[in-house]
Amino acid sequence: MKIYNTFTKTKEELQPFNPPNVTMYMCGPTVYNYFHIGNARSFVMADIVRRYLEYKSYSVKFIMNITDVDDNIINKSNEEKKSTIDVAGFYTNAFFEDVRKLKIKEADFYPKATLHISEMIGVIKQLEEKGFAYNVDGNVFYDVSKFSDYGKLSGKNTGDLESGARVDVNEEKKNPLDFSLWKKAKEGEPSWDSPWGKGRPGWHIECTAMSTKHLGKSIDIHAGGNDLIFPHHENEIAQSEACFEQKFVKYWMHFGFLNIQNEKMSKSLGNFFTAREVLDKYTAEAIRLFFAQTNYGGPLNFSDELLNSAQKGYEKMLNLAEKIEREIKLNVKSEVKPEFDIKKYYSDFEKVMDDDFNSPQAVAVIFDFIRAANKVIAENNNIDSSFYQGLKQFLKNTAENVLGIIHFDDLVNTLNPNIDNEQIEMLIKKRDIAKKEKNFALADQIRTELISLGIVLQDSKTGTTFKKINLK
């Protein structure tokens, strides 16, 4: 099984420090706003990686931090005239709501920065004692010149960085590359007691303290977005390896940007959609399929056209899944047991996922499986239910347990009696008319409204039908 390591820029054989145990740390949200759909891509793809490791019988300890003290949170609290605690609490709850909607498995633990201040102070004290940190009137900085390997993750040359525009000018620093470990308290900002006076931690030290506290001083996989490679992850390495004098991370994994019209989606550029906005228009399963259809490390363009295509792909999976469930309930005992090489599809699925979690090819294997299964079903009558049990198990193991796209427990074959079927049919007719009149905006709006009610439309040459899914 191979994984691309950002540190070595090559695919490497996965060899955890303590097999079959795998420790995995994922940089989580800074809770000052709803996370955008670009963040959601990283969270979903990390979820798929974790799920596949578990599929391969690894015991994964998965940690995702929550940054609940930060400049952005302080700015938001000033804007909204609320305490930083209230702002962070509100958006932390929103984060949990949205990851549940996206069918992301819960982390084993979500450490909060504000609950790990003592651990951060402990690391900073060790760095100071070892000569890697210095105090300037209550502001503590990391001395980059003392860490000879600085830049080894990003491949950046320290000489070039010093003259680069990305580095903030600060007269208190010995070197413009030096970064904050502890920030002196300012009036109106949250602060804690420390050996250097009241203050709060810098961003980078938070992840070092939380990851090593919960996963140990050496971690198997550290994941995050491409934008975190420098300076965040570079600084984590410098802090951790200087403090603990051992390799910090074995495999660095980074997720590509989600773009709009080939430009990175970000809050700073203002060209973003929140995950919850997109979840109002599309099912979580369609969104997950959309993400899985592109390699996790490459860029992905966001568009309604691509998400609509993913929604239709999900509906093909859903069609077969519901057919399987109906046939299993019938429990037909028959001599008709068509030859179907399920082992081949398992082998194909594992082959591509073993190659650096190649989810686009894994999705292709599943669709090949669906086409072949539908062909066998169409060509045979009175098939023994054991055939369908095999189909279900494959989809559960791959499309459900690994990719998180199908959820058999959520399938509902009868409509909720509280929803008026006649009203649904009327909306479908209205949508058909809109499509004929090329009013695609209205047609999409109707489809979106129905999805929000748990009604999935299925277009075919003979017309449009609908079915109810569980949106829990």
Confidence of residue 169 (pLDDT cuts 50, 70, 90): low
Cα gap 290→283, rounded to integer Å = 11
Average pLDDT over residues 41-53: 98
Q: Looking at residue 462, what is its pLDDT?
A: 78
Q: Looking at residue 70, what is its pLDDT?
A: 93
Q: Residue 94 above 50 pLDDT?
A: yes
User: How do residues 348-370 score in pLDDT, each as one tens digit?
Assistant: 999 999 999 999 999 999 999 99
Cα gap 471→449, rounded to integer Å = 13
Neighbours of 246 (CB within 10 A): 10
Q: Looking at residue 86, what is its pLDDT?
A: 97
Neighbour-count burial for 292-309, b at 16+ CB within 10 Å, e otherwise? bbbbbeeebebeeeebbe
Cα gap 229→227, rounded to integer Å = 6
Calculate the dihedral angle through the C-alpha atoms of 140, 144, 145, 151, rounding to the nearest 10 degrees: 180
- At 321 the three-state DSSP class reads helix
Confidence of residue 165 (pLDDT cuts 50, 70, 90): very low
Domain ranges for the chain: 2-292, 308-408, 412-472
Average pLDDT over residues 247-258: 96
Cα gap 441→461, rounded to integer Å = 21
The reply to whether CATH 1.20.120 applies to domain 308-408 is yes
Q: Which two tokens stand for residue 419?
A: 């929803």
Average pLDDT over residues 233-238: 98
The residue among 264 and 323 whose pLDDT is bigger is 323
Q: Residue 373 above 70 pLDDT?
A: yes
What is 2-292's CATH topology?
Rossmann fold (3.40.50)
Cα gap 382→361, rounded to integer Å = 33
Q: Looking at residue 409, what is its pLDDT?
A: 85
Single out the residue of 160, 164, 177 nearest to residue 234, CA to CA: 177
Q: Residue 166 above 70 pLDDT?
A: no
Average pLDDT over residues 59-87: 96
Who contacts 292 (Cβ-Cβ below 8 Å, separation ≥6)? Answer: 44, 45, 48, 359, 360, 362, 363, 403, 405
Average pLDDT over residues 252-277: 82
Range picked from 9-13, 377-381, 422-426, 464-468 for highest mean pLDDT: 9-13
* Phi, psi angle pair for 153, to nearest 5°: -80, -50
Neighbour-count burial for 428-441, b at 16+ CB within 10 Å, e otherwise? beebeebbeeeeee
Average pLDDT over residues 214-235: 97
How many whole angstroms from its chain centre is CA 169? 34
Cα gap 124→127, rounded to integer Å = 5
User: How do residues 292-348 score in pLDDT, each as one tens digit?
Assistant: 999 999 999 988 899 999 999 999 999 899 899 888 988 889 999 999 999 999 999
Token pair 């030859």: residue: 339
Neighbour-count burial for 176-206, b at 16+ CB within 10 Å, e otherwise? ebbbbbbbbbeeebbbbebebeebbbbbbbb
**Would the CATH topology of 2-292 be identical to that of 308-408?**
no
User: How do residues 412-445 score in pLDDT, each as one tens digit?
Assistant: 543 344 556 777 888 888 888 888 888 887 888 7
Q: Looking at residue 455, what is its pLDDT?
A: 82
Q: Where are the alpha helices (DSSP H) in 102-226?
A: 117-129, 158-162, 203-215
Predicted TM-score (pTM) of this structure? 0.87
Cα gap 127→122, rounded to integer Å = 9
Cα gap 447→397, rounded to integer Å = 30
Q: Which two tokens stand for residue 238?
A: 């410098």
Q: Mean pLDDT lowest for which of 181-190, 204-213, 260-269?
A: 260-269
Q: Looking at residue 417, what is its pLDDT?
A: 42
Q: Residue 468 above 80 pLDDT?
A: no
Cα gap 298→275, rounded to integer Å = 20
Q: Residue 168 above 60 pLDDT?
A: no
Q: Residue 83 above 90 pLDDT?
A: yes
- Looking at the chain, how many residues does it have? 472
Q: Looking at residue 416, what is its pLDDT?
A: 45
Mean pLDDT over each residue of the chain, to the nearest integer: 91
Q: Residue 69 above 80 pLDDT?
A: yes
Single out the residue of 228, 273, 278, 246 nearest to residue 65, CA to CA: 228
**Percentage with pLDDT > 70 across the chain:** 94
Cα gap 289→295, rounded to integer Å = 12
Instruction: Please return the burial class of 276, using the count of CB atoms within 10 Å of its CB with bins 0-12, 13-18 and 19+.
Output: middle
307 touches 283 (CB < 8 A): no
Q: Looking at residue 419, what is its pLDDT?
A: 59
Confidence of residue 172 (pLDDT cuts 50, 70, 90): confident
- At 36 the three-state DSSP class reads strand
Q: Residue 274 above 70 pLDDT?
A: yes
140: left (phi over 0), alpha (psi -120 to 50) or beta: beta
Cα gap 97→106, rounded to integer Å = 11
Cα gap 182→124, rounded to integer Å = 8
User: How do residues 127-164 score in pLDDT, each as one tens digit?
Assistant: 999 999 999 999 999 999 999 999 999 998 887 776 55
Single out the residue of 53, 65, 52 nearest to residue 23, CA to CA: 53
